[in-house]
Amino acid sequence: MAKRVTRLGGLLAAYQRRDPAARSKLEIFLLYPGVHAVLYHRLAHWLYVHRRFFLARCVSQWNRFWTGIEIHPGATIGHRLVIDHGMGIIIGETAEIGDDCLLYQGVTLGGTGKDKGKRHPTLGNNVLVGSGAKVLGPFTVGDNARIAAGAVVLGEVPPGCTAVGVPARVVRVNGKPVYYADDVDQIHVSDPIVDELVAMSQRIESLEKELQELKENKEPNERKETA
């Protein structure tokens, strides 16, 4: 019992650290759907592990109705998971979530429909998944990784990396940008007309030098012929 109270206190404290709008632990406990979703899931998962599948599913469906967050009873969730807002989150049966993770609304930890057995992703510790991101498939997202809002992740994300885009690719490693050969700088783009004018100017300058050299070579020859 003491351990459960301690874990609940840790969960509420995690919300206070991550949500600047959280005023008190009592408010979080009574009014935050993410907290309710995790607590209902603990019960559903216990029933699932003890092969009370129908009851587990009943609890999870009530959880979905009450919070708008759908967590399969078979999913494994670590300590201090913070679900910010949470509406529309879906977590599949074989998904695994480590400690101190943060999920925003609209996140899907799902499958691709092609796999059997382990079908859903595994999140390491301290992973952040942004709003509307889809993480699909039986791979691992490493510790301290970041998934950007709206990203579609279809493959492994190494620890400490940030994945962005559709399909997602790693753009930062431990906070440092990663550059690709096909990257296009969308901000510092040169003007093609200016580039063409510069090229023409350089060509004209080169031709003028050649013409000047021809004139200089021609004048001595003319003087010799005159003499």
Asked whether residue 152 is assigned to any structural domain, the reply reads yes
pLDDT in tens, 130-140: 999 999 999 99
Domain annotation covers residue 23: no
**Is 172 in the same domain as 101?**
yes
- Rounded CA-CA distance 77/44 in Å is 12
pLDDT tens column, 30-74? 999 999 999 999 999 999 999 999 999 999 999 999 999 999 999
pLDDT in tens, 171-196: 888 777 775 545 544 445 456 677 78
In this structure, the answer to whether residues 116 and 145 fall within a common structural domain is yes
Same domain, yes or no: 135 and 207: no
Question: Do the domain assignments include residue 6?
Answer: no
What's the CA gap between 163 and 88, in Å, rounded? 21
CATH of the domain at 83: 2.160.10.10
Please indicate, yes or no, whether residues 139 and 83 belong to a single structural domain of this protein.
yes
Mean pLDDT, to the nearest integer, of 20-25? 87
Tell me what percent of the chain is helix, strand and coil, each rounded to the nearest 5. 40, 20, 40
Residue 15 falls within a domain, yes or no? no
Which residues span the domain enclosing 133?
A: 77-184
Tokens 């429909």 correspond to: 113
pTM of structure: 0.73
160 shares its domain with 219:
no
Residues 117 and 94 in one domain: yes
**Whether 176 and 102 share a structural domain:** yes
Domain membership flag for residue 112: yes
95 close to 122: Cβ distance less than 8 angstroms: yes
- Residue 95 CB neighbours (<10 A): 25
| 174 in any annotated domain | yes
DSSP-derived letter for residue 2 is H
Specify if 20 maps to a domain.
Answer: no
Residues 224 and 128 in one domain: no
Could you tell me how far CA 30 lies from the centroid of its own chain? 30
pLDDT at 218: 73
Q: Are residues 133 and 199 in the same domain?
A: no
Q: Are residues 121 and 85 in the same domain?
A: yes
Considering the domain architecture, whether residues 89 and 155 belong to the same structural domain is answered as yes
Within 10 Å of residue 107's Cβ, how many Cβ atoms? 25
Residue 50 forms part of a structural domain = no
Cβ pair 135, 150 in contact under 8 A:
no
For residue 19, give every residue at least 6 positions away whose Cβ sits within 8 Å of its Cβ, in sequence order, or none.
28, 82, 84
Please tell me the predicted confidence (pLDDT) of residue 50: 96
Q: Are residues 129 and 91 in the same domain?
A: yes
Q: Which residue has the tokens 């998904």?
A: 95
Into how many domains does the chain fold? Answer: 2
Are 149 and 164 a contacting pair, CB within 8 Å?
no
| pLDDT at residue 180 in the model | 57
Q: 2-18 and 33-49 helices cross at what angle (nearest 10)? A: 140
